[in-house]
């Protein structure tokens, strides 16, 4: 019988609201946006060598998300683990991760960048099932005729795009 990986969950307050992060030793596996988060604090699932790595990934994700919310981070560098994501979705998520901060692309353009130019709807489904929003910036993907959807709601999508439109503060 295979062991389940140690998972660390962190829930923290940001200017956007309460955000949750789950990580294993392989990287961040889930980011939960405001209004979809329950609980608080940090909870390792079991003590193990993997738990320390999972805690490090979760801690780094929290730090980077806080920096992003403060306007001090434009790109996430924390390790993510998309091993549980279907292959086509992984390609689309990789393409979305390369969208520069402050820019948007359409679902059709994202599909093209992922190597499947006729798969705009499938790219939209990949964005709808993005397990790590913010880190993989699905909010930067828009419909050809408007904003399109967003798991955190359109008000949050507008807020994130407005945040990214601001010049980055000098450190």
Q: Where in the sequence numbering do the catalytic residues fall?
A: 138
**Whether 58 contacts 161, CB under 8 Å:** no
What are the backbone dihedrals phi and psi of residue 54, each rounded to the nearest 5 degrees, phi first?
-60, -45
Which one, of 2, 36, 54, 17, lies nearest residue 130 by Cα?
Answer: 36
Cα–Cα distance between 4 and 93 in angstroms, integer?
25
Q: 149 — alpha (psi -120 to 50), left (phi > 0) or beta?
A: beta
């Amino acid at each position: 019988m295979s062991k389940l990986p140690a998972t660390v969950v962190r829930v923290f307050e940001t200017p956007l609201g309460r955000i949750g992060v789950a990580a294993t030793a392989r990287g961040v596996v889930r980011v939960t946006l405001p209004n979809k988060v329950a609980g608080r604090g940090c909870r390792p699932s079991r003590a193990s060598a993997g738990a320390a790595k999972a805690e490090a990934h979760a801690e780094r994700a929290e730090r980077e998300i806080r920096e992003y919310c403060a306007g001090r981070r434009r790109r996430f560098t924390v390790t993510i683990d998309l091993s549980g994501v279907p292959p086509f979705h992984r390609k689309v998520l990789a393409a979305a991760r390369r969208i520069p901060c402050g820019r948007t692309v359409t679902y059709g353009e994202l599909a093209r960048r992922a190597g499947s130019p006729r798969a705009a709807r499938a790219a939209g489904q990949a964005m709808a099932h993005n397990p790590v929003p913010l880190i993989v910036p699905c909010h930067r993907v828009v419909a050809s005729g408007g904003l399109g959807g967003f798991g955190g709601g359109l008000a949050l999508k507008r807020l994130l795009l407005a945040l990214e439109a601001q010049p980055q503060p000098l450190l």
